[in-house]
Amino acid sequence: MRVADVTPSEAAMIELEASAERTQWWQDRVRKTWSAGADEIISEMGWHW
């Protein structure tokens, strides 16, 4: 079986494009999640800044 590459149409990309505010919200959420995880690991390992 062979699967072809899927390339979305230009119209679909425009229709489904996220707003700048929504993109910023996701970026902030990812940063906070990674930061919380890093803080937890640092605490568990007993490391100090």
pLDDT at 17: 85
How far apart, in whole angstroms, are the C-alpha atoms of residue 35 and residue 49? 14
How far apart, in whole angstroms, are the C-alpha atoms of residue 38 and residue 42? 6
pLDDT at 29: 92
User: Is 2 part of a structural domain of the chain?
Assistant: no
Global pTM exceeds 0.75: no
User: Is 3 part of a structural domain of the chain?
Assistant: no
- Tokens 């890093």 belong to which residue? 38
Confidence of residue 27 (pLDDT cuts 50, 70, 90): very high
Confidence of residue 1 (pLDDT cuts 50, 70, 90): low
Confidence of residue 18 (pLDDT cuts 50, 70, 90): confident
User: Is 1 part of a structural domain of the chain?
Assistant: no
State how many domains the chain has.
Answer: 1
